[in-house]
């Protein structure tokens, strides 16, 4: 029996800077090598039939980094969007983005908008979801404000607010929650990433830094997921008897 694949994989791509520093290289070289890992893992996810791949690419906290590094990251993102546009189209990959996108430089937003519009068509086989200038606490605050405004306008009763309604007001309202979260470089924290959406997500942590994370490491994470029993609060006996 083939182990089940996750429908939605989310990845905290950590360790680019440390990878470079360990080799006596500028931190930006780690980010450049990390972009190659993004290409490899996106292609493999598409080939395997994973429906959604979310990559934590740049957090709201990352704006605090040195200006030169932030500038280099934005230029790298712009280059990635231009270089990978045709491959996304050829492989029926839809590009989405979540986060405070208005904080991105204008030239990055323009490239991002172009690729999202071009890939948003029929025949999509996979969604590549980039978390850019993203922070989960800020995301939830926006959702709360949006719901409060609906209540104030009389469109929604407070008693009618459900988990489903709240989830639909998040940036990820159009996506299923992640089944598997992968974090590279050995850190054991969520780093303000999808705090609501990860409630029942299986977590896989590897010491491998993101620039060294390739197809073999991705397969190991998927194999580990396939051995997990997802109980969602039930007992193992209940799951075996009747599913989720």
Cβ atoms of 81 and 113 within 8 Å: the answer is: no
Query: How do residues 127-179 score in pLDDT, each as one tens digit?
Result: 999 999 999 999 999 999 999 999 999 999 999 999 999 999 999 999 999 99
Distance, CA of 135 to CA of 194 (rounded, Å)? 8
Our answer to whether residue 91 is catalytic in this structure is no
Alpha helices in 26-155 (DSSP H): 27-48, 67-90, 106-119, 136-152
Where are the domains positioned within the chain? 8-134+180-227
User: Which residue in 14, 16, 177, 179 is the catalytic one?
Assistant: 14
Query: How do residues 178-237 score in pLDDT, each as one tens digit?
Result: 999 999 999 999 999 999 999 999 999 999 999 999 999 999 999 999 999 765 565 556
Query: How do residues 42-73 score in pLDDT, each as one tens digit?
Result: 999 999 999 999 999 999 999 999 999 999 99
Among candidates 9, 4, 1, which has minimal Cα distance to 194? Answer: 9
pLDDT classification of 1: cutoffs 50, 70, 90: very low
Specify whether domain 8-134+180-227 bears CATH 3.40.50.620: no
**H or E element, residue 180:** strand 180-183
pLDDT of 29: 97
Our answer to whether residue 207 is catalytic in this structure is no
Residue 238 pLDDT > 80, yes or no?
no
User: What is the value of pTM for the model shown?
Assistant: 0.93
User: Which residue in 62, 91, 192, 212 is the catalytic one?
Assistant: 62
């Amino acid at each position: 029996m083939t182990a089940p694949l996750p429908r939605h994989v989310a990845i905290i791509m950590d360790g680019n800077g440390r990878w470079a520093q360990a080799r006596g290289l500028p931190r930006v070289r780690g980010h450049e090598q990390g972009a190659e890992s993004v290409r490899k893992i996106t292609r493999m996810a598409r080939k395997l039939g994973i429906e959604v791949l979310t990559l934590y690419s740049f957090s709201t906290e990352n704006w605090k980094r040195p200006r030169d590094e932030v500038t280099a990251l934005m230029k790298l993102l712009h280059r990635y969007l231009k270089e990978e546009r045709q491959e996304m189209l050829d492989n029926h990959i839809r590009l989405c983005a979540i986060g405070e996108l208005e904080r991105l430089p204008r030239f990055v937003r323009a490239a991002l908008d172009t690729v999202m519009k071009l890939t948003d068509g029929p025949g999509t086989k996979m969604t590549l979801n980039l978390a850019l200038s993203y922070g989960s606490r800020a995301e939830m605050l926006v959702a709360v404000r949006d719901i409060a405004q609906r209540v104030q306008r009389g469109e929604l009763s407070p008693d009618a607010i459900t988990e489903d309604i709240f989830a639909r007001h998040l940036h990820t309202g159009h996506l299923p929650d992640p089944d598997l979260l992968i974090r590279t470089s050995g850190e054991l924290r969520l780093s303000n990433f999808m705090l609501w959406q990860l409630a029942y997500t299986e977590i896989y942590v590897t010491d491998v830094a993101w620039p060294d994370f390739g197809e073999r490491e991705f397969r190991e994470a998927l194999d580990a997921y396939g051995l997990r029993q997802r109980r969602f609060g039930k007992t193992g006996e209940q799951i075996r008897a009747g599913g989720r």
